[in-house]
Amino acid sequence: MHRALALARRGSLKVSPNPMVGAVIVKNSHIIGKGYHKSYGGNHAEVEAINSVKDKEDLKGSTMYVTLEPCNHVGKTNPCVKSIIDAKISKVFISMLDPNKEVKGGGAKELEKGKVKVEIGCMEKESRELNHIWLYSLSHKVPFLLLKLGVSLDSKIAYSREKSSSVRLTNSRSLWQVQKLRKFYSNVLVGSNTIKIDNARLNYRLSDSNLNPRAIIIDSNLSTSLSSLVYSKEFSREVIVIASKNVDKDRIKKFEENKIDLILVNSLNNKLDLKEAFKELYKRNIRGILSEGGSRLSSSLFKEKLVSRFLLYRAPKIIGEKGVNLFDFKFYNFNNRLDIKLLKNGRIKDDTFSLYDINYL
């Protein structure tokens, strides 16, 4: 199952809104087949593993290890359960049942009806963590959001709100880790100030992939310049801008002429209905989002109970009173009590990081 989980991770960035799934086939203590879900709409992991076995006679009496319950319904592909039964695989270890209402235990039952032995729960905790984004979005019907912020020792996120700073707070190793998060989540969220002040590209800068994350920008009045780097065609990726329904129609036309995808939502006192926006993002098959915005956007996301996890990097620097605070508490309603659980912490050279799970009471 360790091997199946490792294979499943290869589907990161390519299979959303589907979960990442891996499968391994074993006979006489040797791996004879393996596969993973490579792309949305493509073969599922079980079929990939079966197809990888050159001599199909070897499949008879073999054992399959799969990270998620095989499907028993027709979707973009045929049912995996039928492929397993037809291959005469004798036993299947399933790491976790599929909570999707179209499967939900049905796949395991169909296997048993087909005379295939089934065991459930092997490394279930690890499988749930692998697909925590998918599981969260499936149950809440909004994308899972990881809020990432970097701060100084005196809890400042920037030297100034008005000017872009060429001085990075965190070190190059921490920045490398954030690039990996961009690849994993494949959707990066920021506010309009990040575009106006920093002229952020929001691209993926490491050499192990030529895929750039989708950029999602909160821009109530469509005030960002279309000449900003984030809108450049060189990145070959989708850009979504979330704006108010009350925005100037001429401005909407200009964005649409530049092939920018707009989501228009209700607003009150120039504050967008972010919950409405996130529901629309879910409808567009967006399941996981990395937020790299500033204090105002971060505070608003907490206020609207949209933060699923919070990742805080702390650098050994002191900025002083002119710096930008970690949160803009004018946006925060203290009646929203939070249950915050530390999941992980560590050190990256002189930086430290802490990852928190967020639940709203």
* Helix (H) or strand (E) segment spanning residue 351: strand 351-360
- Say how far apart CA 270 and CA 283 lie, in whole Å: 24
pLDDT by 10s per residue, the chain, length 361: 999 999 999 998 788 899 999 999 999 999 999 999 999 989 999 999 999 999 999 999 999 999 999 998 776 678 899 999 999 999 999 999 999 877 777 999 999 999 999 999 999 999 999 999 999 999 999 999 999 999 999 999 988 876 655 568 999 999 999 999 998 888 999 999 999 988 999 999 887 677 789 999 999 999 999 999 999 988 888 999 999 999 999 999 999 999 999 999 999 887 899 999 999 999 999 999 999 999 999 999 998 999 999 999 999 999 998 888 988 765 455 556 788 999 999 999 999 999 999 998 8
Strands 30-36 and 22-27, sheet pairing: antiparallel
According to DSSP, residue 361 is labeled -
Q: Residue 25, SS3?
A: strand
77: exposed, middle or buried (Cβ count in 10 Å: 0-12, 13-18, 19+): middle
**Residues in the chain, how many?**
361
112-119: long-range contacts, CB 8 A cutoff, minimum separation 24: 114/81, 114/84, 114/85, 115/85, 116/84, 116/85, 116/89, 116/90, 116/91, 116/92, 117/90, 117/91, 117/92, 118/91, 118/92, 118/94, 119/91, 119/92, 119/93, 119/94
Q: 79, 73 in Cβ contact below 8 A?
A: yes
Tell me, yes or no, if the pTM score tops 0.85. yes
Is 119 catalytic? The answer is: no
Strands 351-360 and 338-348, sheet pairing: antiparallel
Q: 169, 150 in Cβ contact below 8 A?
A: yes
- Say how far apart CA 358 and CA 361 lie, in whole Å: 10
- Say how far apart CA 116 and CA 309 lie, in whole Å: 39
- Say how far apart CA 9 and CA 21 lie, in whole Å: 8
- Say how far apart CA 221 and CA 216 lie, in whole Å: 15
